[in-house]
Structure 1
Amino acid sequence: MKEYFGLTPWTEGLVTASLLIGAAVGAIVGGRMNDVLGRKRALTYIAVVFFVSTLGCVFAPTLWVMIPARFVLGFAVGAASVTVPVYLAELAPTERRGTLSGRNELAIVLGQLLAFAINAIIANVWGHHDNVWRYMLAVAAIPAVCLFVGMLKMPESPRWLLAHGRDEEALEVLQQIRSDERARAEMAEVELLAEEEQAAQSGGWGDMAVPWIRKIILIGCGLAMAQQITGINSIMYYGTELLTQAGFSSDAAIVANVANGVLAVIGTAVCLFWVIDRVERRKLIIFGFCATTICHGLIMLTAALMPAGITRAYVILVLCVTFVFFMQMALNAPVWVCLSEMFPLRLRGFGMGISILCMWLMNATLTFSFPVITQTFGLQAMFGLFFVLGLVVIGFLWKFLPNTSGRSLEQLEESFSRGEFR
């Protein structure tokens, strides 16, 4: 793609970051979409946007078609990122809600692994074709079609139906996915959840005048941006290019990048099945930032001090996959869970929305900067920046991040309202 469009580091960053700017917009609009249209219809329309924008990227004749197509594709990504977790949570039985929500994170990293593996296969089979990158992008149309067809067979969220006065339809949906006795008993619970959802949307900018609310919103935004300051998405987006600069050949880098996907899956599985409910949220998150920051420092020193060659390349690869493992094990799902627990009920929708917006914008900023900094100053400069930012984040979290595990949401809100944030 760089050769075809004649990309500079600046335009390469723009092509990649345009998706993330679209995702930030999609995250804002997506919440409103699934409230107005319903979760099922919203995801069906999102699948169409995924498919059309994917084709726009595949057949883009110029850079100035590619960038808008990537923006629209990002819009679908952002809209899905706020719709899918809600849909899963509202269909899941109470006792399995946490497990199914966690599996969403596992599904994301499995999707990344599949993308890396499929790209490696395509590169090895058709790598001699000038437009092989179009084949790689075209594969993304397949899950878009699967999502569209699958959603046609899925029921609407009973919680959404109940919120819109469609009680009989809500009961019919519950009877499809529960026993009849369980479905009728759960109607009362769904009614309560609908009331909570309405309460969760009642907060807004006016509440920022309250000092403790302002503080918790700022902590949430800081935590969301901190997750991106690790550089995880820059490494996932530019993994092949990073490994090429480390010393691998282009073909070898595409294959080696699959290791990042493998360790992401392993780290997420370790987190979900062994770690997240056994370690205090605050301790786990701070440990994760310490581990990833150490990895950044070691990559910086390796890139700066080791002579170019295959040994240096493999050392950087090992450090990268170690970073990815600690990131997924201690910082991916735990940060999302912490954000969902941190905000009081009436501000949960507002707080999550602002935090996710900050997360996407930080993601876009780092993604745009990555190729510019690495190609101008080298890998050591980029990872040196990650290292310094990591130290700042650790200090911020050590001082301000509350522990949200081991206490009910009501206890957390009462504690925060008294100014107790530890």
Structure 2
Amino acid sequence: MSDHHPDPAERDLPPLGTGPFRSRLAQITVIACFGGLLFGYDTGVANGAEGPMQIELGLSDLQIGFVISALVFAAAIGAFVGGTVSDRIGRRRSILIMSGLFLAGALLVVLSPAGPQLGEFYAPGYALLIAGRILLGLAVGAASSVVPVYLAELAPFEIRGSIAGRNEFAIVTGQLAAFVVNYVIFATLGHLDGIWRIMFAVCCLPAIALFVGMLRMPESPRWLVDKGRRADALQVLRTIRSEERAVAEIGTVEDIAGEEKETSQVGIRALLTNRHLITILLIAIGVGFVQQLTGINSIMYYGTRVLEESGMSEAQAPLANIAFGVVAVLGAVIALRNMDRLDRRTTFLIGLALTSICHVLVGIASVLLPEGNPARPFVILVLVVGFVLSMQTFLNVAVWVWLSEIFPLHMRGLGIGIAVFFLWIMNGIVALFFPSLVSGVGITGTFFLFAGVGVLSLLFVWRFVPETRGVSLELLEEKVTTGEIHIVTRKKRVVDALTRRR
């Protein structure tokens, strides 16, 4: 934990204070987080629906693999396009379009017809199923890049971490909801044909709620200033800040936006002509890789498979899989409490240390407890639960918050879109090869491999990732654009090391 010493520009801002504007900010956060809820539900629903779907539709293992991975790879495109589009048309309108994609994708999946030729790749029914998953993927990817930015731009810098982090809480809540709803549907309606369609149909409800809710939500004031709409931006700020704070804050935002316009370079042009921006983009891509190479989504997508490989029965595994969703939500709650108390770098380092230890312990347990040992599946379950809890408490929330903060306003959508594009590509690669990895080297080799990657990730974060906590977006923008953020972080690292020695 470290004390934050505000920059002079931040000290000039009046204190945040209390008032009705706090309730309005909370309301906006809840509605926007339905995007995260959909993100979580639509990625988690396949963990339980894919088995009945494969049996009813007569799909091969390769075909069901395409159905699952179509969403992940489409999400990479959705993240990049969503970020760029949100820079052009606004965060609010982008989220409205995204909610429509969620609804349309779910309906295509639910309504995709079965038929004697569905087992062929060219069958119309199979094509419709894939199309639905692609639409869902585009929406999930857009949600992963637009919603965190929308929340970060609306939040005051003092509590930005906890507000932007609520999106990740919504994601894991959506995944838990998917696991629980799937289990309840399977337990109560398992005798019916097409229960997987019911599972996917539930996705329509939060999509409708998001669309209706966002119709009454404001645009990001920082985006409005960037587009020269100062009066509209001030009007929005007055609903989510005190009057004095709103006037002072918009002045700071305008100053930075004015400096950007003087350079006559925004978006991709500014990125390609500034080596500091290229550096921060590469670091952001690296942070996305670090998150995915922990293997967290292997558990969220294939949790039941891991538990069955450890020796758990087919009846036990789906119920035990709910534990992963429960501890993910618990970890997110803890993370939100710590987000404005712990530095981002400290959080990353603790998370990577704990997840790597959990990986090593899973590997050791799978060696010491041979197959057939009745304790084996339950010991591995406890250790994997510990991994998911560590991941959610210290890494998942912090990564999404950090990504939403680090890029300058003029390229924020573009920057996070590119970074999250590569994050989803790595997500897809891990998801695609994880079953083969487990089959080839077993749980032991798989988790030892994750542990080795975790050690390398620790070194990467310690050496390259800059600190962003407790600094206004405008000041961060200045330090990132000039490269000063790396100097400040290195100085702080040295000071912290000297303090510990004393």
Name the TM-score, length of structure 1 as normaliser: 0.86
Partner of 2:110: 58
- Provide, for residues 365-392 of structure 1, a one-character-per-residue CA deviation record: whole Å limited to 9, x for no partner: 0011122333455433433432332233
| Structure 1 match to 2:43 | none
Shift of 1:225: 0.4
| Matching of residue 230 in structure 1 with residue 297 in structure 2 | no
Residue matched to 1:245: 309
Task: Give, in whole Å, the separation in 2 of the partners of 1:403 and 1:215.
Answer: 15
Q: What is the identity percentage for the equivalent residue pairs of Structure 1 and Structure 2?
A: 45
Corresponding residue number in structure 2 for 1:334: 398
Contact 1:9 1:371 in 2 (8 A): no
1:71-121 CA-partner distances (Å, limit 9, x unpaired): 211101111222212222333345443331122222222222222221221
8 A Cα contact 2:285 2:422, kept in partner:
yes
Match for 1:24 among 68, 76, 83? 76
Which SS does the other structure have where 2:444 is aligned? Answer: helix
> Helix, strand or coil for the counterpart of 1:257?
helix
Relative distance call for 1:323 and 1:195 in structure 2 (3 A) is: farther
**Aligned residue number for residue 368 of structure 1:** 432
Distance 1:57 1:8, change over 3 A: same
How far off is 1:284 after superposition?
A: 3.2
Deviation at 1:317, TM superposition (A): 1.3
Q: Is the 8 A contact 1:271 1:328 kept in 2?
A: yes
For 1:401 and 1:116, the matched residues in 2 are separated by 34
TM-superposed deviation, 1:255: 1.9
Name the counterpart of 1:295: 358
Residues 1:131 and 2:201 aligned together: no
8 Å CA contact retained: 1:159, 1:193: no
TM-score in terms of structure 2 length: 0.73
1:205 corresponds in structure 2 to 272
CA offsets 1:3-27 (integer angstroms, 9 cap, x no match) = 2344555444332221111111111
Q: Is the 8 A contact 1:204 1:350 kept in 2?
A: no
> Per the alignment, in what secondary structure is the counterpart of residue 112 of structure 2?
coil
User: Structure 2: any 5+ residue segments left out of the alignment?
Assistant: 1-52, 114-124, 494-502
Report the RMSD for the aligned CA atoms in angstroms.
3.2
The question of 1:391 aligning with 2:492 is answered: no
| Displacement of 1:187 | 4.2
AA in 2 matched with 1:204: L
2:335 to 271, 274, 279: 271
Quick check: 12-21 or 159-168, which moved more? 159-168
| Matching residue's letter, 1:205 | L
Structure 2 counterpart of 1:247, one-letter code: G
State the partner residue of 1:102.
Answer: 165
Q: Say if 1:200 and 1:166 are closer, same or farther in 2 by CA, change over 3 A.
A: closer
1:257 equivalent in structure 2: 321
Q: 1:381 to 1:418 in 2, by over 3 A?
A: closer
d(CA) in 1 for partners of 2:465, 2:234: 41
Distance 1:182 1:417, change over 3 A: closer
- Deviating more after overlay: 194-203 vs 69-78: 194-203
- Please give the alpha-carbon distance, in whole angstroms, between the structure 1 residues aligned to 2:282 and 2:181: 40
Residue equivalent to 2:55: 3
Equivalent residue number for residue 414 of structure 1: 484
Asked if the contact 2:79–2:141 (Cα under 8 Å) also holds between the matched residues in 1, the reply is yes
Residues 117 and 194 of structure 1: CA distance in aligned 2, closer, same or farther (over 3 Å): farther
Compute the displacement of 1:37 (Å): 2.5
Question: How far, CA to CA, are the matches of 2:485 and 2:84 in structure 1?
Answer: 31
Aligned counterpart in structure 2 of residue 286 of structure 1, from 331, 345, 349: 349
How many Å apart are 1:143 and its aligned residue?
A: 0.4
State the Cα distance separating 1:221 from its structure 2 match: 2.0
Which position in structure 2 is the counterpart of 1:73?
Answer: 136
Which whole-Å CA distance do the structure 2 matches of 1:2 and 1:309 have between them?
Answer: 31
